[in-house]
Each structure stands twice: as structure tokens, then as C-alpha cells.
């Protein structure tokens, strides 16, 4: 099964796994985080494993993601897609998730 995470990360990993993919600035902290393609894929794999093994998410399940704009949110979204879940962002979808 090809997932959305495979579609996004596959070509990037093949082309240049060490290339920067995500740069997050937190002006309140202040801090800056930069993740390579392979680091982002690693975070996504960890989240996918957590969702499958600990939460019981199966392919086709709906996951509601109500997170702020942050570098971790990208890992959560990619991880949910990697686990085969459908991601929704609306709070009204929580009843079906």
C-alpha cells in the first residue's frame, strides 16, 4: 500500500536525504529548528509506529489533528498518513474519529 507519506517523502529521500526539509522559527523562545528529509522521515516513522502499536490506528481510520503551526505537527501529519490514516482538521469531525 502506498501512503501519502510515501508519495511525499519517497522522492525526497531518493534525491537528497540530507537536504533541509523543515525550518521552524519560534520567535517567542527564540529558537530555530531545521530538519533534514531523513530526520523528518524518522519522526514520521516514530509517530506512525506510536499510532499503530500504542493507539491502535489501522489503515483507513480517521485521525483528527488539531495542532498549532509547529515542526512537530509536520511529523504528526506525515506519521498519521504513513500509518494509512485519513487526517481531518475540523473539530466537528472528532465524533467520527
* 31: CATH: 3.40.50.980
41-92, pLDDT tens digit by residue?
999 999 999 999 999 999 999 999 999 888 999 999 999 999 999 999 875 5
pTM: 0.82
CA distance 20 to 66: 25
Count of domains for the chain: 1
In the structure, what pLDDT confidence band is assigned to residue 95 with cuts at 50, 70 and 90?
low
In the structure, what pLDDT confidence band is assigned to residue 32 with cuts at 50, 70 and 90?
very high
What pLDDT is attached to residue 3? 81
Q: Which domain, by its residues, includes 54? A: 4-96
Amino acid at each position: 500500500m502506498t501512503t501519502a507519506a510515501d508519495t511525499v517523502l519517497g522522492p525526497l529521500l531518493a534525491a537528497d536525504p540530507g537536504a533541509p526539509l523543515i525550518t521552524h522559527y519560534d520567535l517567542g523562545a527564540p529558537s530555530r529548528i531545521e530538519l533534514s528529509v531523513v530526520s523528518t522521515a524518522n519522526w514520521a516513522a516514530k509517530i506512525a509506529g506510536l499510532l499503530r502499536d500504542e493507539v491502535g490506528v489501522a489503515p483507513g481510520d480517521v485521525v483528527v489533528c488539531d495542532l498549532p503551526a509547529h515542526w512537530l505537527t509536520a511529523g504528526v501529519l506525515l506519521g498519521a498518513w504513513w500509518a494509512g490514516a485519513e487526517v481531518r482538521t475540523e473539530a466537528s469531525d472528532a465524533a467520527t474519529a
